A and B are shown apart, each in its own frame.
Chain A
């Protein structure tokens, strides 16, 4: 494994499989026990550096680090020196001086974790950078698919929605391709990035045509905060063409699953009855996120300092 986890492409097939296997063993080892804590990272410090709002990712990383007995420092841009104008580099040097072994970073600028990786000695884990990547989300999604369907090789995954702004989609396309799954992207043409043709994925515009051939449907959140241009005429029209409702769910093969990275806009990209159905893995994804992030932290920070 590389020292940092900045994007899904940092993981080759063996590395990615090792993370998933490690996560599975951790989940099994902790299942049903009273003390859900392992001494593995005792004395290590993990800094959660969050320049962008996040609930589940930050809490998930925090819980993962704590369950491995690491010391966790939460740093959010609001209420810190960042609001006084401190630069990313100066913040990084401060963390470095405090001896952070691992830095989990979320930033609104694509590429910020890459810059950070050059400034600190510890391992950097990208927890979402702008519209670029969110590799641990892709890992937990892959883990969830493997857990539910028993395999990843040849699994047909359809990712639907705002691919243009989605770091989840970018990381998932890369990682799922690495692991042998077949990915199809479905979105309005306005919400597909330039150069999507070069991605290792099929591209389609008609959700109804793709659903019967999907083992997994991954719905992306319509990111209202990034909808700064007229990407689609109205929420209702988007929902009608690209939303997953009960009728569309009925078109899926029998054992197909429905995923969503959260937070959901119920009634927009996903209907409430779909989100709460037995096919939905949305709650499972959150639980798997902790095991997967424990695996990542163990593999990056558990060994000898480099």
Chain B
């Protein structure tokens, strides 16, 4: 397995610390934007499936723990907005669920696991445009691995990771994979890993990572 040859880039404790930090940053921002009042009430955390969704829920739970405010959480599936369906073929859809009352006039923070080419985020922005008119949209990611193909940057970054295009960044979360960790795999390891016994859903785990537009 890759994770034995390559130490994890982020451990379970690292992931937890990052989520705590971003939760604090969101609380801080809310306080700065509207001093005195409760800016958090405007916030909606929207996860991009698969792994952005549990990340958004965890962020909301931490914000609640730190500030006592319950933050709205949603998910937006971007499959039908992708620009690579013709290259990669169709995929099963995941759920799109927004809080009652929608996103009009609110601060939407998109949450994803890995920021790579920026194409997922572009698709998510297109989807949001059809779903309503937020007051502003921001982006929070666990890992930014560079190699942007679109003018997109994240407002909240867990960890910047310099990578080569050939490498794979895999995010595993307890909700989807049974364990919290982030690993970087070399091109050679990927084959070995994909042949090894991994759950079928694993194929999707690098969704955020394999946006490179490489066929």
Q: Which residue numbers of A lie inside 8 Å of B, CB to CB?
A: 18, 21-22, 25-26, 28-29, 32-35, 37-40, 68, 298-299, 302-305
Take A33-B130, A35-B130 as given contacts and tell me if A25 and B77 are in contact as well, using a CB distance cutoff of 8 Å: yes
Take A21-B93, A25-B96, A33-B131 as given contacts and tell me if A298 and B80 are in contact as well, using a CB distance cutoff of 8 Å: yes
For B132, what are the chain A residues with a Cβ–Cβ distance below 8 Å? Answer: 33-34
How far apart are B92's CB and chain A's nearest CB, in angstroms?
6
For A68, what are the chain B residues with a Cβ–Cβ distance below 8 Å? Answer: 80
Take A25-B77, A40-B80, A40-B85 as given contacts and tell me if A303 and B90 are in contact as well, using a CB distance cutoff of 8 Å: yes
How far apart are B120's CB and chain A's nearest CB, in angstroms?
15
How far apart are B108's CB and chain A's nearest CB, in angstroms?
15
10 shortest interchain CB distances as A-B pairs: A303-B89, A25-B93, A29-B96, A303-B90, A302-B90, A40-B80, A35-B130, A38-B80, A302-B85, A22-B93
For B126, what are the chain A residues with a Cβ–Cβ distance below 8 Å? Answer: 39
Set A37, A298, A302: member contacting B130, Cβ < 8 A: A37
Establish whether residues B80 and A304, one from each chain, have CB atoms under 8 Å apart when the complex forms: no
Bound CA span A32–B93, Å = 18
Establish whether residues A39 and B80, one from each chain, have CB atoms under 8 Å apart when the complex forms: yes
B13 part of interface (Cβ distance < 8 Å):
no
Bound CA span A305–B131, Å = 29
Other A-B contacts than A22-B92, A33-B131, A298-B80, 8 sampled, CB-CB below 8 A, are A26-B93, A29-B80, A35-B130, A38-B80, A38-B81, A40-B85, A303-B90, A304-B89
- Can you list 20 A-B pairs, Cβ within 8 angstroms, ordered by A? A21-B92, A21-B93, A25-B77, A25-B93, A25-B95, A26-B80, A33-B130, A34-B132, A37-B130, A38-B80, A39-B80, A39-B81, A39-B126, A40-B80, A40-B81, A303-B86, A303-B88, A303-B90, A304-B86, A304-B87
Which residue of B77, B102, B130, B131 has the most chain A CB atoms within 10 A of its CB atom? Answer: B130
B94 part of interface (Cβ distance < 8 Å):
yes
Please name the residue on chain B nearest to A26 by beta carbon. Answer: B93
Bound CA span A68–B81, Å = 10
For A22, what are the chain B residues with a Cβ–Cβ distance below 8 Å? Answer: 92-93
For B86, what are the chain A residues with a Cβ–Cβ distance below 8 Å? Answer: 303-305
